[in-house]
Every structure is written in structure tokens, then in C-alpha cells.
Amino acid sequence: MDGQRSSKVIWTVKYAVLNIAYFVAFCTVHAYAAVYLLDCGFTNTQVGVLLAVANILSAVIQPVIAGIIDRQGWLTNRRFILISVATIMAGSALLMVVGKNRAVVFIIYVIIYMIQFAYQPVMTALCFEYQKSGCDIWYGLARGLGSAGFAVTAAIIGGAVEKNGVFILPVVNVAAMAVSLGVLLLFRKPVGVNGSSIEQSAGNGATKEVKAHNKISSFVRTYPAFAVFLIATVCFFFAHNMINDFMIQIIRNLGGGEKELGYANFLQAILELPVMAGIGVILKKISAKNLLLVSGTAFFVKILILYFAVNMAGLFVSQSVQLFAYAVFIPAAAYYVSSTMEEFDQVKGQAFITSAITIGGVFSNLTSGAILDHFGVHTMLLGGCIVCLAGVLTAFAAMTKLPHHV
């Protein structure tokens, strides 16, 4: 028993460090994207275009990479993460050299932003892969500690940027990726199983061969509720990304600055830890399907509160709703995929979730920056409220009216 407990601690610590390092860099790359790019001379519209390009490329590449990994060939979850980490590290180092050359910054930032989103679902799939191979990992706690890493970084980095300038951001990225590389070298599965198909009981003593549904049409027919829910996810994260990508402009409109941006990001991220750590207990009482509906409703409430906010207090109340929105959505989606999909569809399932999140970011980036430049913060947030409400209605239709597995 002590040996099992010790093994669980070791594997959870290693996976938690991977998550912490990932979200430290995620904070500097994503939460501070507008701060960094505006300082480099980009307009709000140009920032939106850059992030849209990065999100489009990420949305395209994620299912492709997932399909390759699901074939159980050379490209494993771990190897793809290694490649991604090394690329982000190199790109961040280049940003430290090129300064404010907008053309070069555009290309490098697109690559970093794209790859960082692309390997997020693979991180989740890595955990479930290792769990099924006998590595006892407390997913919720490790993922929650990743959010805590984001929170601490957000609390510190705002003041650091005000004091030292935006070029401290790529320095933090390089350090975080160096930690990731070190942990990944120690993150080796003791027993591996290869193959592109498995046999499962057909319920009558016979067996049936189960293969990956690598064609999108086949995947959608097999998981109709999930497929429609992805549309709702796009709507949720249209609003979510609108808030996160243009948070500095929202805060300035309410009388704050970079330091308040750090506090706001800290608040919403630190609230994720207790929910994610306790998701296993919560799932014993509420199904993953129903938790996804709770989170979708919370995304709408969050942006609605922000729409009516008149000062920083209103913004902090809005950020507190993260406790029921993003904090519930991410682990609930991971467990939903793990529990409803065939083994060799699960990397794709995680990737489709992240692709939907990314596509929501694309639509947000393409519209929010331009609306902000021409009509202001209030109009931008109103658009977010409308789209998010449409997502809530779509989610309830998908999860309550359609089958989850055919």
C-alpha cells in the first residue's frame, strides 16, 4: 500500500510540474499577448488578426496530429510534447533577439501561440494513456496545480512587466520550457501497448474489433452529442477568449492597468485549483455531461456580469465565476471524452475539444479587435453575451436530446 501511495505521489508530482510549466508559459504567451504585441507596435485589429491566424493554424493541426498519435506509431503523446516544448523554447529565445521587428515578431508569435495550443490536448491524453498503463496520476490535482502556476505567474508578471518591460515575457517562457524538457526526460511509461485496434466484448461472449474513427464523418456519426456540443464550445470560448485576449483594454476602460491585469488573472486561475483537484469527488455525484452544462451556463453569467460592470469590483466578481466556468469545463470535458469514447478515439476527442476552443478564439480574434477599435469595449462585450447564450442553448440540446455514443 505504501509503495502504491509513493508511486502515485511521484507520478502526480511529475505530471503536475509539466502542467505548472505549461501554464506559466501559457500565461505569458496568451494572457499577455495583447500587452506584448501592443508594445511592439501592433494595433488592436492587428493583434486580433495575428491571434486569429495562430488559432486557425492550431485548429487545423490539432486533429491531424491527434489522428497520427491515435494510430499508435512513432509519434506518441510524449514525443509530440517534447517537439512542441523544444520549438516554443527556441521561438521564445528568438523573440529575445529580434526586438520589435513586427514582421518577424508576427511569424514567431504565431508559431509559439499555435504550438502551445496544439499540445494542450496531448498533455491531457498523456495522463489518461499513462493511467491505463498502471501509472497512478491524480489528474484533477495536477491540472489544478497547473492553474495555480498560471495564477502565481499572473500575480507576479504584471508588476514585473511594468517595472522591466515586456521582454521579460519570453525570458519566462524559455525558463518554463527548460523545466518541461527536464521533466519529460524522466516521464517514461513503464509498460507500453502498441497497436491501432483492440478487441472488446460484444456483450454475448463474442468480441468485436474496435478501430479509431479517423474520418471526421465517421467520428461525428459515432459521437453525435459530442459533435454538436463542439459547436456550443466554440460559442463559450468566443466569449472566454474575448475577455482574456483583450482583458487589458477592458481593465483600462474600468480604470485599471497591467498590475490589475495580473490580479484579475491570478483570481480566476487560483479559483480553478480546488474545483479541479476535487473533480473526482464531484463526478461521483454529478455526471460529466451535466457538469459541462453547468460550466456553459457559467461562461454566460461571467461575461454578462462583465458587460454590466462599471468598475474593477465588477470585473473581479466576473472573474470569480471562473470557479464554475473554465474550472469545471476542462476536467469535465476530459473525463467525458475518456468515459464515452473508444480508446483509439480519445486523443482525437481531446484534440477536437481544444480545436473547438481554438476556433472560438479565431472568431473572437477576427471580430473583437475590430469592434473594439471602432465601437469600444461595451459593444464588444454585448456581442460576446449574445454568442455565449447561443452556446448555452446548443449545449442543452446536444447533451439532453442526442445519443453520446452510437
- Among 34-48, 60-74, 326-340, name the one with the lowest average pLDDT: 60-74
pLDDT of residue 209: 52
Provide CB contacts within 8 A for 302, sequence distance 6+.
239, 243, 318, 319, 321, 322, 325
Kindly state the average pLDDT of the residues 187-200.
53
Burial 152-174 (b: 16+ CB within 10 A, else e): bbbbebbebbeeeebebbbbbbb
Computed over every residue of the chain, the mean pLDDT equals: 85
pTM: 0.74
pLDDT, tens digit, for every residue of 203-252? 444 444 556 666 777 888 889 999 999 999 999 999 998 998 788 889 99
**Residue reference for cell 476536467:** 331
Q: In this structure, which amino acid lies at residue 128?
A: F
- Among 57-71, 116-130, 142-156, name the one with the lowest average pLDDT: 57-71
pLDDT higher at 394 or 335 = 394
| Among candidate residues 110, 113, 80, 85, the one with its CA nearest the CA of residue 21 | 85
Instruction: Flag whether pLDDT at 174 surpasses 80.
Output: yes
pLDDT, tens digit, for every residue of 5-30? 667 788 889 999 999 999 999 989 98
The torsion angle over the Cα atoms of residues 131, 25, 234 and 210, rounded to 10 degrees, is -20
* CA 199 centroid distance within chain: 32
Cell of 213: 474513427
Kindly state the average pLDDT of the residues 114-126.
86
Q: Where are the domains of the chain?
A: 2-189+213-401
Instruction: Flag whether pLDDT at 163 surpasses 80.
Output: yes
Instruction: Flag whether pLDDT at 274 surpasses 80.
Output: yes
Kindly state the average pLDDT of the residues 279-306.
93
pLDDT of residue 6: 64
Residue 103: Cβ within 10 Å count: 8
pLDDT of residue 3: 54
Instruction: Flag whether pLDDT at 294 surpasses 70.
Output: yes
Homologous superfamily assigned to 2-189+213-401: MFS general substrate transporter like domains (1.20.1250.20)
pLDDT of residue 220: 86
pLDDT, tens digit, for every residue of 21-66? 999 999 899 888 888 898 888 888 888 888 888 878 888 888 888 7
Instruction: Flag whether pLDDT at 264 surpasses 60.
Output: yes
pLDDT of residue 119: 86
Which range, 19-23, 69-73, 129-133, is most confident? 19-23
